[in-house]
Every structure is written in structure tokens, then in C-alpha cells.
Structure 1
Amino acid sequence: MPVTILIVDDHGAIRRGVRAILEAHDGVEVVAEAATGAEAIDLAAAHKPTVAVIDYALPVMNGSQLTRRIREASPKTQVLVFTMHESEALVRDVLAAGARGYLLKSDADQQLVAAVDALSRHQTYFTSRVNEALLAHYLAHPGQPSDMDVLTAREREVVQLIAEGQSSKQASETLAISLKTVETHRAAAMHKLGLSTTAALVRYAVRNKLVEP
């Protein structure tokens, strides 16, 4: 049986590059590509891939949120977060969400195939620059929340959209929820984070890689 792959990245060139690297090896089949989190969830449910290779910095839904949703849609799919960001906070976040691998895009040529192979065998794979003590701690305590888990998944979606420049009304349309619900989540998030302005909320989102600076 081939190792089946779902690639999720909002840049077509990245998706094509990942596909080319993986499909150059026997026994690996890319079954689907997605540019957004919503597409990825539907494709994961439809194809049940062995491994999902996902970018962290996606619009609307970031990598940790998508990891949870993919694991819900296809529990046997192993998630490899593939990112340009070298950040212990992000590693903690994706581990808590259920990812089993974390690889920097700069390491793709040398390590992407090895990472996918490890995850397909239900092993973990993390870029060598991840702090080993941090990794060991979170693998030993997979249910322990990360620093960013003070927010609910919906609150984080609202924070990300606001930080991307959407108004509360636009965010309500994007998420298909009421304007009042968006404003409630926005207020709750700002209260939990101890923030009083939208500018501070944007800085929080950038600092925690919910959006690109």
C-alpha cells in the first residue's frame, strides 16, 4: 500500500515543490492538494491520507487549528507541520493540537521524505533545531495545553481574522456566525489576554504566528 499524502499550503509553488520531492520516491502518492483549511478538512475526510503535510501560516485557519480539525475528520492521518517559522511556541502549540512532526521549509530537500516516512510508521519527526527537552516533555504529556490555549478555537479564529484586517462584520461572514457572536468572542479573547486595543490584539497575533507580519 502506498503512503498517501495530502499537501496543504496557500502557495501553489510550495505545493508543487512538495509534490515533486515526495513523488520522486517509490511508494509515495500525493492524493490531494488544498490551498485553504476548509478544503483540507473536506479532502482529509474524503481521502483519509496517511500523512497531511500542512503549512502553519494559512489564512483564516492556522496550523494548530487545522491539525485538530484534520484529526477529527480523519483520526488515523498523521500531521506534519511544514513551516518557515523556527519557534518553540509553535512547536508547543502544534504538539498540543496533535501534530506528530514539525519540519522547517528550509530543510525540505534533505528531510521531507524522511519526515513523511517516519510519520507513516507512527513515529515522530521534528527538525533538529527543536529543543530536545521541550520535545520530550510534550510527547510525554500530550494533553497538556500550550501557552496559546488560553483561547478557544473559535476565539483564535476571530483573533486571526481581525489581525488580518477583517472587520467584525466581515469575520462573521467568513465564519458564518452572527456579528454578535463574533463580537462576543473578540471581547472574550481580549479579556483573557489582558488587551484593550485592536492594535494590541494584532501584535499578539503576529507575535504568536497567528498571522504573517
Structure 2
Amino acid sequence: MKPITILLIDDHPVVRTGYRRLLESTPNMCIVAEADNGETGYQLYQEHQPDVTILDLNMPGIGGLETIRRIRAKNPAARILVFSMLKNATVAQSSLKAGATGFISKQSGMGEMIQAVRQVNSGKIYIESELASALAINATRKETSENPLDTLTKREFQIFKLLAEGHSCAQIAEILTISSKTVGVHQLNLMRKLDLQNTAQLIRLAMNHNVIQA
């Protein structure tokens, strides 16, 4: 039986090592390449054309979502499994919208990773069961919410307002006493929740709902 060829993209060497050992110890699975950022991952995808690409979202450079979009633009049939530190239905939904065909959190067990790879390779969508339930709940909430800002958490709204006021991620991190990476994660979440593509749209939405004044 032909082994499932896998491209692994994650910026943490220890994480890559752990998953490489797991996957290569599984019959009929083979890691053909690894990358620690999206740009290199995309190049390696073109070079190796793996059966399944496994990637994290939060990486230096273009990041996971843009990497997914580029791979899917190159090959609409690409099979991409996201494994993220964020066990979050909204992040999972954003990944699927970008073109991923599977999503599991890094808190999931080793057996679930193997199951997810096999299912994604077979052409099916795989979502961690707990997140699949949350996705359904979020979809219902979105349909009934009159104000899109109601979908934001308290922290996401804080960052939304600061972004609308023109603060950079570094400035927001200093204001809220959190890391720039955490700000970036919240920014990603709120942009996807609100279906925003750029800062101009964010500012316009903030003005429309009187979060900031024109």
C-alpha cells in the first residue's frame, strides 16, 4: 500500500519532532518535508505535492491561513489538516473557510491525529468532535445576533476598539499588558468572526456601531 505522504509546517522544532515521530511510527505514513514558516511550507508543497499537509496557524511570515489559501489556489484538491494551540470553534471555522479540510487542537490525543490524517487523506472533512458541536452552536448564534460585535469576547472587543482607534499590535500589547502574539491571535479571531478583510472595513464597522467617532 502506498504510504500517505505528509508535509509538516510548524515553527516549533519540538512540536515538529514529536509529531514526526508519531506519524513515522504509524504504518503507511511518511513525512516528506518540514517547514518552520508559511513561505517555506508553500514552496515545499509545490516541490513535494504531499497527500496531506499538516500546519499550525500562528507562524512567522504569511501565517497559516494565508498558507492554506495559497496552497488551495495552487491545488484546489489539496488536503490540509490544521492543528492549533487554539481549541476554538471560530478559529476552526476560519480555517475551513480558508480551505482547510480538517481541524484538531494540539490538546487532542495522538490517536485523534492519526485518525484525522487518514480521514483527510480519504477526501473527507475531519473536525474534532467538541469543536464540531461548538461550530453548530456558533452558527445558530450568528443567525440570531442583531449586532455582529455581540459575537466578540470582552478582550476581542477591547482589541477591536483599539485597532479602530489606530493603535498598532505592539501598542495594544503594551496598553493591555499582553504579548504581541496574543494580540495577533485575538485580531485574527475578531476579523474572522466579523468577516473583515482589512483595517478599513474594521474602522467602518466601528463607526457604524458608534464604537469610535468619525
- TM-score band, normalised by the shorter chain? 0.5 to 0.7
The AA in structure 2 aligned to 1:86 is K
Which residue matches 2:206? none
Say yes or no: does 1:194 pair with 2:164: yes
The equivalent residue for 1:124 is 125
Q: Judging changes above 3 Å, is the alpha-carbon distance between structure 1 residues 137 and 45 closer, same or farther for their aligned structure 2 residues?
A: farther
Q: Deviations over 1:113-143 (max 9, x none)?
A: 10000000001111122043625998xxxxx
CA positional deviation for 1:108 = 4.0
Query: Displacement of 1:59 after TM fit?
Result: 1.1
Q: CA offsets per residue over residues 2-41 of structure 1, 9 Å max, x none?
A: 2110000111111111111111122111111011111101
TM-score, normalised relative to structure 2: 0.66
Map 1:21-170 onto structure 2 (within 5 A). Answer: 21-132=22-133, 134=135
Q: 1:204 & 1:12 partners in 2: Cα distance?
A: 23
Output the aligned Cα RMSD. 2.8
Q: Secondary structure at the match of 1:197?
A: coil
Q: Tell me which structure has the larger Cα radius of gyration.
A: 2
**Does the Cα contact within 8 Å between 2:85 and 2:106 map onto a contact in 1?**
yes
Which residue identity is paired with 2:54? Answer: V
SS at match of 1:80: strand
Q: What SS is found at the alignment partner of 2:61?
A: coil
Query: How far 1:60 sits from its partner (Å)?
Result: 1.8
The answer as to whether partners of 1:100 and 1:125 remain within 8 angstroms in 2 is yes
Contact 1:78 1:119 in 2 (8 A): yes
Structure number with greater CO (CA < 8 Å, separation at least 6) is 1
CA contact (8 A) 1:10 1:58 kept: yes
Aligned-partner Cα distance in 2 for 1:108–1:19: 15
Q: Is 2:5–2:51's contact at 8 Å kept on the other side of the alignment?
A: yes
Alignment length, in residue pairs? Answer: 160
TM-score using structure 1 length:
0.66
Distance (whole Å) between structure 2 residues aligned to residue 18 and residue 53 of structure 1: 10
